[in-house]
Structure 1
Amino acid sequence: MLVAVVAAAYRAGEMERLRVDGRFLRRGSERAFLRMVTYGPFPGGWPPDLGGDFQRIRAAGFEAIRLYSWPETELLDAAAGAGLWVFAAPEWPQAVDFRDGEALATARRSLAGGLAAHGRHPALAGVFVANEIPADLVRWMGPEWTRRRIEALIDFGRERAPDLIWAYANYPTTEYLEPGNADLTAMNVFLEDPRAFRRYLRRLHHIAGDRPLVISEFGLDAQRHGPAAQAELLAAAARIAREEGVAGFTVYAWSDRWFNAGEEIADWSFGLIDREGREKPALAAVRDVFGETPAAPEMPAFSVIVCTRNGGDRLLACLRSLGKLHGPKPEIIVVDDGSSDGSADRVETEFPAVKLIRQEPSGLSAARNAGAAAAGGGLLAFTDDDCEADADWLVELSRCFAEGWDAAGGPNLPPPPAGPVEAAIASAPGAASHVMLDDREAEHVPGCNLAVRRTSYFEVGGFDPRFHTAGDDVDFCWRLRDAGLRIGFAPNAFVWHHRRPCAVGYLRQQLGYGRAEAVLMAKFPRRFSPAGDARWQGVIYTGSPVRATGAAIIYHGPMGLAGYQGVIARMQPLRELDARHARPWTRALLACLGWLAPRLRAKARTGKFIGPISPRPAAIPAADAELSTWDARPREVILRDWLADGWRAAESGDFWDLEKSGTRVLLACERHDHGSTRLLIRVWGNVRTAQEMIGAEATPSSAAADGPSLPR
């Protein structure tokens, strides 16, 4: 049987399991740029010659196919025979109100059955638990409620198949719906302007946080735009995705033949092959781009400076990672700030090429200044002794400096935790974070991942020696900006930053941060509020994917029609607890640390043992009724008809869509097969006013049909 042959090949190492590695994907020892194409569903079921199709797909440079259903064994065997990974999906109604639980139960049954049958097949690489839940239904059900149901499906599947990659295929209209526990951020993007696509990818890197960003759909309809335009745009988009450091790119779709909502779709042609199986120009264009070798940036001369005191084994791990950096070898300088554990001697013995500077204990800033004074490179890159640099760290920073930035930095990612205590600390508040003014320019980058032009460094006077253990990077970045210098952000220039190994060490660190902030407050009083909170101009990114939680405000646009609906928040949510350690006592430890750490930090900063102020979400009043009726019109047409009848459109931040004489309504549409649409109406105020618009009888849920109107 072919599956046995395939399994044997996988065990022999001919097929490597795809896995997440920081902000990228990896197969074995190689970093993978995932080249994927969507496949089906087709009218009449799977094509008879799956093997032939898959060989053509592989020959075009693709490594994976994305399905919108569970595959049969024959499909997985054929994919493995062609060397293709498969991303599957449970089959369940996703464009309906699933608060009653029936649709979610269907999803769980589909997941359980598919994983029981094929979860260990070597060709199965991952699962998208859902795809583009419509924005109006997300608003109807509640964004946070909907996200938690997606996360529950991911947890349900991961418990049964932990080696697979788990994701939700999102789209720009609900970019706030990112599940916190997914392995990657997957976004379906359809943009016809390459420049706009490039700009949006830079935004999506921040939406993704620490994890890889994969474009899970991108295409153009050749029927409306022409085959030449389709080929040109797909080639440009695939190239831009590589240039912008995306972890994967998915072409939508393999064939013009497509079956959706119970019908064959004949009025569009997104495929790389036509309905007769003939290649379109787009296939050759994509094949050519996939065959290109990305151009490496010109690498300037870097000096990497690592300051340590009693660094021990973590310092040696840091230096080993720096020895594996891609590109020209940088000058590496270690400043030993009065170690008593023999760290300096071990560096001297095991890393003879490293320039070692010994000094009496003087503090972190003084050590960094000593390293900078001894450096010969035009660019100074700082990291900490508890960090391990990704092999492309300096390559990615070089791209920033090639664009003209005066300084640059990137993310610092916690490595996979070895145990539950490390997992809790990795998700606790107070980790080093970057602060962004927009998608490219930073207000602050942490000192564990900070590079600066030598001239800019000495122009602002280097680091302030008053800062001994922390706060020096904040002070330095603020002085750079005050001098008119600009800090760029490289989303893929990351370092692995080990957090404190125990809770006591973590809390001591937070106390140290608080003492450093007290020095910052004295030096920059206008940059702090009377309560002692820093007044950042930008947004604090914590490494977590951006998503709607608690009191976050979502910009839906008038009547929920904005094409790009995002979260407005000054600080993003914290990282989710690692799924492998998400046990009740670990969650209790995380809750304890999350309560205690900011209060200890505030005590050291201001002398007051107070916690952060958490804004409460604005309460949405209970509706007076929920109505429904079958209506074949699109939601946009229904809204237009209500407006023509004298209803007034809501503002972008309102929880309702339309208002008339004090009665407010929220409208959503369920999408069913064969074009059937069910209109859902939530009413606050006079229910009969809404009933007159739809001609439906309904019983009010909580108040009389002619009950009191809400205040404006």
Structure 2
Amino acid sequence: MGRLGVVTIGRNEGERLVECLKSLQKLLPPYVPVVYVDSGSTDGSPETARGFGVTVISLDASLPFTAARGRNTGWKYLLAHYPHLDYIQFLDGDCELLPQWLEKAISRMEENPQLAAVCGRVKEKYPLKSVYNLLMDMEWNTPVGEALYCGGNALIRVEALKQVDGYNSSLICGEEPEMCIRLRRRGWKIERLPADMVIHDASMYHFSQWWRRMVRGGWAVAQGFHLYGRAPENYKKKELFSGFFWGFLLPFFSLILIPFTSCYSLLLLILYPILFFKIFLYRRQFEPNNRHAFIYAFWCVISKFPQFIGQVEYWLNKLRDRRAVLIEYK
């Protein structure tokens, strides 16, 4: 691991950051450099990180906080002070690194020099404490093999990072797939390994938290489509239409046509149970527990509404030429 550096980012993660840094302390040799980049925490996170002996960088509050900005600050700091590094492990402050991940990830990267990034299974720490935690645990369970994108927790090759100058710091969400598009355009590949990577503590126990996260997801869809929605990527084109159709178009016309159809237009709403059943059957391929597949399908249907709101918020923000601000749910 002599050519490895670690970048951790966070904002008011509290005890989650403690567990994150404990996992690094336990798994990393002392010579591996670790930098923690803080985005305006008010809970003493920078002091907590210093107590673990890691380098701490507090972002300038005069500029918008974004995860992308934090990661860029971290990896550029590491390369300025440790230019020999070949790999950067990015780790969110609400995650704990799992044993054997780094060995497997680095080994795979050395086997295939075309790989820019590898990621593994993200598991929720308390999936059964709330339906929202469970949803995220299922969401993290992505197919193994070559992938189009990776998430915020990933091992990334320094050479690839430098070629694309890292993440787009102006994006408040969706910065990981955006960077992956630019990497793939340069011939790099991304891969999801059949290995556990991190434990994530979503700490999501309220409907309002879930709703805000889905709004943020809708924003990311609209933003991604705006950037790369044309061929050849057609990025987020399907998701954009899905949010617009299910979150607005279908309910709008079902209601607006009531006076002209003697309420028969309400029959259009039967499409929602059909959508639910379609998602349920799809999810059963990955989730042997029928109850979990049912929960996943139900909330996926409901999510169309906040996702549409997020799309609208993005376009309105764009039209008004306003600076985007973080959509936080914790």
Normalised by the length of structure 1, the TM-score is 0.34
> Does residue 187 of structure 2 align to residue 479 of structure 1?
no
Offset of residue 388 of structure 1 = 0.8
**Partners in 2 of 1:329 and 1:572 — Cα distance?**
45
- Contact kept in structure 2, 1:301 and 1:379, CA below 8 Å: yes
Aligned to 1:499: 202
- Closer/same/farther in 2, CA of residues 374 and 429 from structure 1, 3 Å limit: closer
Aligned to 2:122: 412
SS of 1:321 mapped into structure 2: helix
- Contact kept in structure 1, 2:8 and 2:91, CA below 8 Å: yes
- The within-5 A match list for 1:509-528 is 509-526=213-230, 527=234, 528=236
**Partners in 1 of 2:57 and 2:67 — Cα distance?**
13
- Contact kept in structure 2, 1:410 and 1:493, CA below 8 Å: yes
Aligned to 1:332: 34
Return the match for 1:321 from 14, 23, 29.
Answer: 23
- Closer/same/farther in 2, CA of residues 600 and 473 from structure 1, 3 Å limit: same
> Does residue 80 of structure 2 align to residue 373 of structure 1?
no
- Closer/same/farther in 2, CA of residues 445 and 591 from structure 1, 3 Å limit: closer
- RMSD, aligned α-carbons: 3.3
> Does residue 132 of structure 2 align to residue 425 of structure 1?
yes
Aligned to 2:94: 386
- The within-5 A match list for 1:253-652 is 299-325=1-27, 330-348=32-50, 350-352=51-53, 354-361=54-61, 362-375=65-78, 376=82, 377-404=85-112, 405-417=115-127, 419=129, 421=130, 424-428=131-135, 433=140, 440-447=145-152, 449-468=153-172, 470-503=173-206, 504-526=208-230, 527=234, 528-529=236-237, 532=240, 575=287, 593-605=299-311
- Contact kept in structure 1, 2:121 and 2:142, CA below 8 Å: no
Aligned to 2:319: none
- The within-5 A match list for 1:242-253 is none
Larger RCO, structure (CA 8 Å, separation 6 or more): 2
Aligned to 1:667: none
Higher helix share: 2
Offset of residue 397 of structure 1 = 0.9
SS of 1:484 mapped into structure 2: coil
Size of the aligned set, in residue pairs, is 265
Cα offsets for 1:276-302 (capped at 9, x unmatched)? xxxxxxxxxxxxxxxxxxxxxxx4521
- Contact kept in structure 2, 1:327 and 1:395, CA below 8 Å: no
**Partners in 1 of 2:311 and 2:137 — Cα distance?**
14
Q: Aligned residues: percent identity?
A: 23
- Runs (5+) with no aligned partner, structure 1: 1-298, 535-548, 553-566, 609-712
**Partners in 2 of 1:430 and 1:509 — Cα distance?**
14
- Closer/same/farther in 2, CA of residues 302 and 598 from structure 1, 3 Å limit: farther
- Contact kept in structure 2, 1:511 and 1:601, CA below 8 Å: yes
Cα offsets for 1:591-626 (capped at 9, x unmatched)? 764432233123312579xxxxxxxxxxxxxxxxxx
Aligned to 1:276: none
Aligned to 2:265: none
- Contact kept in structure 1, 2:20 and 2:96, CA below 8 Å: yes
- The within-5 A match list for 1:84-233 is none
- Closer/same/farther in 2, CA of residues 461 and 330 from structure 1, 3 Å limit: same
Structure number with greater Rg is 1
Offset of residue 489 of structure 1 = 2.7
- Runs (5+) with no aligned partner, structure 2: 243-275, 315-330
SS of 1:410 mapped into structure 2: strand
Cα offsets for 1:527-559 (capped at 9, x unmatched)? 23266169xxxxxxxxxxxxxx9659xxxxxxx
2:193 counterpart letter in structure 1: A
SS of 1:311 mapped into structure 2: coil
